[in-house]
Chains A and B, each alone.
Chain A
Amino acid sequence: SQELEQSPQSLIVQEGKNLTINCTSSKTLYGLYWYKQKYGEGLIFLMMLQKGGEEKSHEKITAKLDEKKQQSSLHITASQPSHAGIYLCGLRSYNTDKLIFGTGTRLQVFP
């Protein structure tokens, strides 16, 4: 969706390296969701951010929301092969029942 841009589109990193994925919206963010999709499988919910400046962490994954920039970043510390997959961000804008998804970032982690 042009309303939600993810970068980079793909990423190949060596195990142990840190990495960041960005999600930028052309609309005001009222909620930003991060999902992970393993190849050929469904989406797994990671985190939801709602407030400007909010930061959440789960294991080695940290997500932040910059309301002013209308952007969220997902940071993985000390990447592992288990982190490989497609990361998608989803935008919820005001007064809507729907989520708009970005096109995803494909992450590969090699030993």
Chain B
Amino acid sequence: NAGVTQTPKFRVLKTGQSMTLLCAQDMNHEYMYWYRQDPGMGLRLIHYSVGEGTTAKGEVPDGYNVSRLKKQNFLLGLESAAPSQTSVYFCASSSGRWETQYFGPGTRLLVL
């Protein structure tokens, strides 16, 4: 039981490039979340999903897109990366709205 995994662990992009971050969970959780963590800002919710095929905007959704084609996977896409998107990205999942969120190890993204 791996829990929540994220790939890649680290990535460097040039401004304007695109990339997709993958989150996978093996706990059969309905809810999945993408956060970014920046110094002094704490964790901020980007997008989330309450089930396969659904997505919703969080606190800071601009510049990101997501897809939840399979229950176990939640993808975060950056279509045209900007230096302001340099951050550490965390994925989390939970079995329900009121249940504990379990986090992945994070992806460090540097946009030059």
Contacts and interface: CB of A to CB of B under 8 A. Distances in A.
A97 B56 CA distance: 10
* A-side interface size class: 20 to 34
Contacts of A41: 105-106
Contacts of B74: none
B44 to A, nearest CB: 8
B101 interface: yes
B42 A88 contact: yes
A97 B106 contact: no
B10 to A, nearest CB: 11
Contact of B43 (A31, A88, A92, A97): A88
Contacts of B40: 103
Contacts, number: 52
A30 B97 CA distance: 12
Interface string A91-105: 010001111011110
A110 interface: no
B102 A101 contact: no
Given A41-B105, A42-B105, A48 B97 contact: no
Interface string A72-99: 0000000000000000101010001111
B42 A97 contact: no
Nearest to B96: A97
Contacts of A96: 97
